[in-house]
Amino acid sequence: MTITRRLGGLAHRWALFAFVVVAWELVTRSVDDLLFPPPSEIARATADTWFSGKFAEDVLPSLGRMLGGWAIAAVIGIALGVALGRSRVAMDYAGPAMHFFRAIPPPLLVPFFLVTMGLDGMHTGTIVFGAVWPILLNSVDGARSVDAVKIDTARTFRLSRAQWMVGVVLPAASPKIFAGLRVSLSIALILMVISELVGAANGIGRELKDAQESYQNPAMWTWIVLLGLLGYLFNSMLLIAERHLLGWRSAPSRTA
C-alpha cells in the first residue's frame, strides 16, 4: 500500500507538470511573443545545445565552481557554527558581526572579490560568502539544542572533548545542519550564475548571457531549464543522503 500511494502521488505530480507544459505551449503559441518561446522550440534548442561538444566545456566548470564553493562553505559553517553554538560567550561577541555581514547581498561583493582574488577566485569567494550563512546559523542553533539528558550522560561517562563533539553534539545538530546545507546549495547555484555573468571565460552564466545578448531566446531558456534541473537534482540527492544518514531519528513505530 505504501508503494502504491507513493506511485500514485508521483503520477499526480507529473500529471500536473505535464498540464502546465501543455498550457504553456498553447498560451505561448497563441501570444506569439519572441521572448517566451513555446516548450517545443525550447526542447529543440535543448537537444542542439546539450548534445553539442561545447556543452560539457560549459557545464563542468560551472559545477566545479558551485560544488567547490559550497563544500568550502559547508566546512567553515559547520566547524565555526558548532564551536560558537557551544560557547555563549563567543556567540555574544561574534553575533553582531555575523548578522552585519550576512545582511550584505553577496552580488554586491563581486567587484571586491574580483580585485582581491582575481577572476578565478572571484567565483569561489562569492559563492562561499553567500552560502556559508545558512549553514553557520543552523549549525549554531543545532549545537545549542543538545538535550540536557545527553549532556548529563556524557559527563557521567567522562567523554573527551572530541568524543563529546563527534558523538553527541554533531548527531544532535545534524538535522538543522542538513536544513542549512539544502538552503545553501540553492544559494550556491544562484551565485554561481551571477558570478559567471560578471566575468567568466566559460560556464552556464556566460552562455546564458551570450544567448540573451544575441537574442537567441530558445537557447537562453535552454540554460534556464538546465539550472532548474540541476537545482532539483542536487536537492533530491541531498535529501536522499539526509534520510540515509539520519534514518535513526525516525525509526518506524509499531502498533499492536
Tell me the pLDDT band of 195, cut-offs 50, 70 and 90. Answer: very high
Does some domain include residue 251? no
- Tens digit of pLDDT for each residue in 85-125? 888 788 888 888 998 999 999 999 998 999 999 888 899 99
What's this model's pTM, rounded to 2 decimal places?
0.84
- As a whole number of angstroms, the distance between CA 211 and CA 217 comes to 7
Which residues touch 192 (CB under 8 Å, ≥6 apart)? Answer: 62, 65, 66, 69, 123, 127, 203, 204, 205
Report whether 185 contacts 70 (CB < 8 A).
Answer: yes
Does some domain include residue 8? yes
Does some domain include residue 183? yes
Does some domain include residue 253? no
Pair (4, 75) in one structural domain:
no
Pair (132, 202) in one structural domain:
yes
- What range does the domain containing 22 cover? 1-29
Overall domain count for the chain:
2
- Tell how far CA 8 is from the center of its chain: 28
User: What b/e sequence results for 143-168 when a residue is b if at least 16 CB atoms lie within 10 Å of its CB, and e otherwise?
Assistant: bbebeeeeeeebeeeeeeeeebbeeb
Pair (109, 206) in one structural domain:
yes
Write out the three cell numbers for 80.
565555526
Does some domain include residue 256? no
The residue type of 129 is F
Pair (114, 188) in one structural domain:
yes
Does some domain include residue 236? yes
Pair (135, 181) in one structural domain:
yes
C-alpha distance from residue 10 to each of 13, 78, 228, 244, 254 (Å): 5, 34, 19, 21, 26
Which CATH number covers residue 43? 1.10.3720.10
